[in-house]
Copies of this chain bind each other. A is one copy, B any other.
Amino acid sequence: MNASLPFADWMKAVQADTEAALDRFLPAATQEPAKLHDAMRYTTLGGGKRVRPLLAHASGELFGAPADAVARAACAVEMIHVYSLVHDDMPCMDDDALRRGKPTVHVAYDEATALLVGDALQARAFDVLAGATDVPPARLVTMLRLLAEAAGSAGMCGGQAIDLDSVGVALTLDQLERMHQLKTGAMLRVSVLLGALAGSDLGPAQLEALGAYAKAIGLAFQVVDDVLDATADSATLGKTAGKDAAANKPTYVSILGLEPSKALAEQLRRQAHEALAPFGEQALRLRELADLIVQRKA
């Protein structure tokens, strides 16, 4: 995307590019099994902030990634994210009826379809990324492995397992941070890394700088989520507000209070900016995304 675009326009362009790429990388709704493919498209297309694709594009641009490779990285992380939402919303997990302003998959279709939609989207994510023919195979294998680690029990699934076991439990701030680093942070981090690796091998210093940036925005993302869950309404969020408090789940707001949580988010935003210092002016989009994550209203 054009480096001189105002941020809001760049963001819209990336979101449109991601929507088109997801549409391209998902099986047609007319292809058998039609109901499964229809449900995969229903839940993936036409919504979402696309935070992970934005991160992949921002770091992809920083490292000169080819358009197809960065689109595949962006769609792979988004498909993993979307599948996790579909499974998370199921009755045996959060039992949520509303997501991105639409009925959740198990409500719009049925539970068995929701289960299979999530399973098939995860497989599709690896399929799409593995098709990045512009990336040298050795680096692509690294990217596939990073994605698998971030999605699995040492990443997102592990964080969800800890989250499940934390309902009604008085977590320390460290334990809460650890849970979110796995549940949300691992996939945000890999979004940044895959975008960069789509363009170039990374040296240890670059990996460390990107990792520090990702860690800061990952935590900021969750702190802001908790603040919004406590302060915004369902219509603004496009999902059920106040559900963490209702479920007696520990949050930054419940542990730190509202104003200290907002201050922490701002502090993490500054840390994210500092981590990007080695990349200079070129890291504009990553800085802007840190600002977006902290200043968003939904």
Contacts and interface: CB of A to CB of B under 8 A. Distances in A.
Interface of A: 27, 32-33, 35-37, 40, 83-84, 87, 90, 92-93, 106, 110-116, 118-120, 122-124, 126-127, 130-131, 136-138, 140-141, 144-145, 147-149, 151-155, 157-158, 160-162, 164-165
11 contacts: A33-B161, A36-B161, A115-B115, A118-B119, A119-B119, A119-B122, A119-B157, A124-B153, A130-B145, A137-B140, A137-B141
Nearest to A123: B152
Contacts of A141: 130, 137, 140-141, 144
Contacts of A90: 92, 115
Given A36-B158, A123-B152, 14 more contacts: A36-B157, A83-B119, A84-B119, A90-B92, A92-B110, A92-B112, A92-B115, A112-B164, A126-B126, A127-B148, A130-B148, A140-B141, A141-B144, A144-B144
Contacts of A40: 153
Contacts of A151: 119, 123
Given A92-B115, A112-B93, A145-B130, A122 B122 contact: yes
A124 B148 contact: yes
B127 A149 contact: yes
Nearest to A160: B116
Contacts of A161: 33, 35-36, 113, 116
A122 B120 contact: no
A165 B112 CA distance: 10
Contacts of A145: 126-127, 130-131
Nearest to A92: B111
Contacts of A112: 92-93, 164
Contacts of A116: 157, 160-161, 164
A162 B157 CA distance: 27
B87 A157 contact: no
A50 to B, nearest CB: 22
B144 A130 contact: yes
